[in-house]
Structure 1
Amino acid sequence: MIAYFKRMSLRSRLTLLGTVAVAIAVTFSAIASWVATRQQLINQLDSNLTSVQASPGYVQALLRFCGTQQPGSGAADSSPTPYTIQVVTADGTVCTAPGKSPIDVHTDDVAVARGTATTALHDSTAEDGVVMRVATARQNSVPGWATQPFAISIAQPLTVVDDPLRTLSLILLGVAGVGVIGAATAGLAIARAGLRPIARLTETVELISHTGDLSIEIPVDGEDEINRLAKSFNAMTGALAASRNRQQQLIADAGHELRTPLTSLRTNIELLMRSENSGRMLSPVVRSELLTSTKDQITELSSLVADLQELSRQEESGVGRILQIEPLHEIAARAVKRSRLRGPGLIFTENLEHWYVRGDSRSLERAIVNLLDNAVKFSPSNGEVCISLQGGVLEVRDHGPGVSEQDLAHVFERFWRSPAARSLPGSGLGLAIVSQVAAQIGGTVTLQNAPGGGALATFRLPGAPTPPPDLERV
């Protein structure tokens, strides 16, 4: 049954669950109504029987029926009455009104006759099989009965209760049936109307899955849960489309950047192979130049591949990664130590105050190294590179030619290289990696011309001069 329920469509399940819920509610309501009505009718019948028993006229009738006769003799007065009247003595003897079937005596009736109880109300059965409701009350002695105390029982068939209840049951059954059918119909209509936006969403998702077109959007015309889901889906497909566009652009840019060193490598290797195959040996100077050029191109390719891997790693690490508290001043000091090896003739001036940030130490060090490498690349011989860290602002300044105004807007783009830097080694990804690291940890990076010449890179990172006491530093 559960397996079949799981195979049902969502619309069918909602309709079925709604119908079952209404059926249960209607059933309990009908049962409660029936029980309450039955109790009310029983209470009303008991009140009527008690009232009749207390009537002086009925007491006189009893005296006329049984008081002048011996018990069980069946007196001759047969006045029509809807009640069955009988006398119950202390020893359990009964005298029933003429034309009425005697009723089984209950122990409560005998207790009333003996004086141990004042009244009794209960169901009993007559000799003819009719179920009766009996009310018994104690009375004084009757002449001719040895002045013994007795009780009078007034009974009426329970058909006065059962017949209306039977009619009520049929009415409730009909109402419940109509209610369940109506609930099923309404549930189906509501399920269709409520699930129509989901059906539209499903059709759009299937269309995107079939065509691969991430530009398709789901119409949004409200603020309910379905429309919020549609908005989230549109945002997700937009992010996927942007990611795919970035990947395609990265592949295209990487292919463009790889073409030049690969072409140069191929040309150099072909020249070396032709020289070997033809037996016409190249001069040592030319051969050395070709080998040096080949080595430089391989180095450039290695650097480009490493930068691409780092860029890809940065994009992956920015999703769902838990960042730790890191000492930026220590990371910057390590970066300066590495950069000194790349610019042995340069003077490095550092002023690093304590600053702690939430980030990845490897990514932060790579970003600072890239800023320093950029400064080393454009610094003149015996030039000075200054790095400072104050209040969460890390600045790297060189004393080179600076950057032209038209190039400043493109320095953080992937694979972008200014005309003046195309003859220098590099992949054009260094500053793009810095920008990506800054964005991941909520910081910013800018590059501008410094007063007095040179370029000034400013790396702003949120943090504090002391590590938070409630966070463990890794």
Structure 2
Amino acid sequence: MLTAAAVAFAVAVVSVICWFLVQGKLYDEIDSKLSGQIYTQTVSPTTLRNNLSDCRAPAPPGNFGQQTSPYYAQLVQSDGTTCVRGGAGTIRVTGSDRSLAKAGNAELAKYRNGTDSDGHAIRILTAHVFIQPGVPYPDIVQMVAYPLADTRSTLSELALLLLGVSGVGVIGAGAAGLWIARAGLKPVDELTEAVEHVARTEDLTVRIPVEGEDEIARLSRSFNSMTAALGDSRDRQAQLIADAGHELRTPLTSLRTNIELLARSEETGRPIPPDDRKALMASVKAQMTELAALIGDLQELSRSDATHAPETLNVVALHDIAQSALDRARLRGPELTFAVDLRPWYVQAEPAALERAVINVLDNAVKFSPPGGTIEVALGDGLLTVRDQGPGIPADDLPYVFERFWRSPSARSLPGSGLGLSIVARTVQQSGGDIALNPAPGGGTEAAIRIPGAATPPPAAPPAPDAPPSQEA
């Protein structure tokens, strides 16, 4: 409708302009003919007086009054007296004609539309008669006219033609606009139906066919990408829930068995031997610790990436974090030797998450190192490496070490949830870095963490010397 209205307006404007241009052209042609019918030479006053007193007297030299049809010709005095010299009737004299006769040199000719004595439309030229070049005869003008019947008939036919062409153009534009609108909005309708289907059924496998490179095609691609991402996210969520349930089942089953043994001993009154009871309690404690660690790892993985946005990160000293993690790792492997070379390096990260990541890497090194082995830890130019002397990771397992709950067949008998390296990879990536595990020369595994540096934070200002010592309550 909007297209049809715009085309109708444009066609109407063009048609009106065309009609007025044609009308002006036709009137110009008639005016040119009328200007050839008036006195073209000077006329003596005697001749004019004879023509006014006796209209049957011969007309003066020139075209005026020589052709009786279809032109009108007459002389008019300022008082309205008329002398008809030719034509099918008398031209109706108006006040403007009499005013022109009285005007003298003020105005020499005037074109206008008017009527004859019978009411027929005519084109009129009123002009002065000159007795000398540039000197008009006082109080007398000559009037010639041409009938407008044929001209107006032509203009009426032109108006009907333009109206018909305009109507066809508007109808055609409306039909074309409707077709284009339907064709252009068809992908939008398909997209709307797909969105409604997804909202109604939660079926994220819906895809919209994409054709072309226009905005609708881009919108369809974006929708397909969104549904694919949502589907992958839902699949990962379902997989995480399934894996978490599987991993939680093992410690919970073991806890349930041990607690049932303790409860049955209390109910039956048959005490468990002290050594067995001590081992049973140690097992319960270890399984509770494993369960708590697993739940903590799941909570860490469930945290939104928004909590690790760049504006929430701080500039921290990676060497200090590595040293703190080393202190904790030494407690877990007192029989191991740590070769440490830490150089200052500042990064932009979340301190707690980054320390947890480094501790996870060191815990793996402690877990797989043989008794009396050496763990090499080095930090320089943004690269933190941790090398152990354990059995190493098979080449076939390297692509899967950062996946959630994945554990090497050789490590499934050892404590752990399979989430540690996944948390490490996520934390390092959120800090703008990357991590890789590679076989170390001579055996063992080397973990390499590279994080880009950040501006060194300014040193803390020392306390004022005159400040009084703080008092503790």
Correspondence for 2:387: 397
Structure 1 contact 112–136 (Cα < 8 Å) conserved: no
Correspondence for 1:39: 24
Correspondence for 2:62: none
SS in 2 for 1:302: helix
Rounded Cα–Cα distance in structure 2 between residues aligned with 1:161 and 1:63 = 38
From the superposition, tell whether residues 314 and 327 of structure 1 become closer, same or farther in structure 2 (CA, over 3 Å): same
Q: 1:29 aligns with which of 5, 14, 19?
A: 14
Q: 1:81 aligns with which of 69, 89, 95?
A: 69
From the superposition, tell whether residues 299 and 84 of structure 1 become closer, same or farther in structure 2 (CA, over 3 Å): farther
Rounded Cα–Cα distance in structure 2 between residues aligned with 1:175 and 1:63 = 58
CA deviation map 1:223-269 (0-9, x unaligned): 44444444333333322222222112111111110000111121222
Rounded Cα–Cα distance in structure 2 between residues aligned with 1:264 and 1:449 = 35
Instruction: Look up the equivalent residue of 1:352 and give its one-letter code.
Output: R
- Residue 68 (str. 1) matches residue 23 (str. 2): no
Deviation at 1:168, TM superposition (A): 1.4
Instruction: Look up the equivalent residue of 1:163 and give its one-letter code.
Output: S
Q: 1:343 aligns with which of 316, 330, 342?
A: 330
Instruction: Look up the equivalent residue of 1:448 and give its one-letter code.
Output: N
Instruction: Look up the equivalent residue of 1:238 and give its one-letter code.
Output: A
- Residue 408 (str. 1) matches residue 398 (str. 2): yes
For 1:5-404, list aligned pairs within 5 A. 16-53=1-38, 55=40, 67-68=49-50, 70=52, 80-89=68-77, 91=78, 93-97=80-84, 99-106=89-96, 110=100, 113-124=103-114, 132-141=122-131, 148=138, 150-202=140-192, 212-313=202-303, 321-322=309-310, 327=315, 330-344=317-331, 345=334, 347=338, 349-354=340-345, 356=347, 363-379=353-369, 384-404=374-394
Structure 1 contact 112–138 (Cα < 8 Å) conserved: no
Structure 1 contact 112–137 (Cα < 8 Å) conserved: no
Instruction: Look up the equivalent residue of 1:41 and give its one-letter code.
Output: L
Structure 1 contact 104–127 (Cα < 8 Å) conserved: no
Rounded Cα–Cα distance in structure 2 between residues aligned with 1:270 and 1:108 = 131
- The number of equivalent residue pairs is 439
Deviation at 1:386, TM superposition (A): 3.7
- Residue 418 (str. 1) matches residue 408 (str. 2): yes
SS in 1 for 2:37: helix
Structure 1 alignment gaps of length 5 or more: 1-15, 469-474
From the superposition, tell whether residues 123 and 389 of structure 1 become closer, same or farther in structure 2 (CA, over 3 Å): farther
Structure 1 contact 132–155 (Cα < 8 Å) conserved: yes
SS in 2 for 1:102: coil
Deviation at 1:311, TM superposition (A): 1.5
- Compute the TM-score of the two structures, normalised by the length of structure 1: 0.77
Deviation at 1:447, TM superposition (A): 0.9
Structure 2 contact 97–126 (Cα < 8 Å) conserved: no
Structure 2 contact 75–142 (Cα < 8 Å) conserved: yes
Instruction: Look up the equivalent residue of 1:447 and give its one-letter code.
Output: L
Structure 2 contact 92–114 (Cα < 8 Å) conserved: no
Structure 1 vs Structure 2 CA RMSD: 3.9
Structure 1 contact 335–368 (Cα < 8 Å) conserved: yes
From the superposition, tell whether residues 240 and 147 of structure 1 become closer, same or farther in structure 2 (CA, over 3 Å): closer
Structure 1 contact 140–150 (Cα < 8 Å) conserved: no
Rounded Cα–Cα distance in structure 1 between residues aligned with 2:9 and 2:353 = 62
Moved more, 230-239 or 167-176: 230-239
Rounded Cα–Cα distance in structure 1 between residues aligned with 2:357 and 2:39 = 105
Rounded Cα–Cα distance in structure 2 between residues aligned with 1:276 and 1:76 = 156
Deviation at 1:114, TM superposition (A): 0.7
Deviation at 1:211, TM superposition (A): 5.3
CA deviation map 1:292-328 (0-9, x unaligned): 332322222221122112112255658xx45677546
Structure 2 contact 361–421 (Cα < 8 Å) conserved: yes
SS in 1 for 2:303: helix
Matched-pair identity in %: 43
Correspondence for 2:463: none
Moved more, 40-49 or 76-85: 76-85
Instruction: Look up the equivalent residue of 1:255 and give its one-letter code.
Output: G
From the superposition, tell whether residues 410 and 107 of structure 1 become closer, same or farther in structure 2 (CA, over 3 Å): same
- Residue 448 (str. 1) matches residue 468 (str. 2): no
Rounded Cα–Cα distance in structure 2 between residues aligned with 1:86 and 1:430 = 116
From the superposition, tell whether residues 148 and 316 of structure 1 become closer, same or farther in structure 2 (CA, over 3 Å): closer
SS in 2 for 1:140: strand
Structure 1 contact 327–354 (Cα < 8 Å) conserved: no
Rounded Cα–Cα distance in structure 2 between residues aligned with 1:199 and 1:380 = 66
Structure 2 contact 124–145 (Cα < 8 Å) conserved: yes
Structure 2 contact 329–359 (Cα < 8 Å) conserved: no
Instruction: Look up the equivalent residue of 1:269 and give its one-letter code.
Output: I
Structure 2 contact 315–454 (Cα < 8 Å) conserved: no
Rounded Cα–Cα distance in structure 2 between residues aligned with 1:52 and 1:367 = 110
Deviation at 1:281, TM superposition (A): 4.1
From the superposition, tell whether residues 189 and 403 of structure 1 become closer, same or farther in structure 2 (CA, over 3 Å): closer
- Compute the TM-score of the two structures, normalised by the length of structure 2: 0.77
Q: Which has the larger radius of gyration?
A: 2
From the superposition, tell whether residues 412 and 125 of structure 1 become closer, same or farther in structure 2 (CA, over 3 Å): same
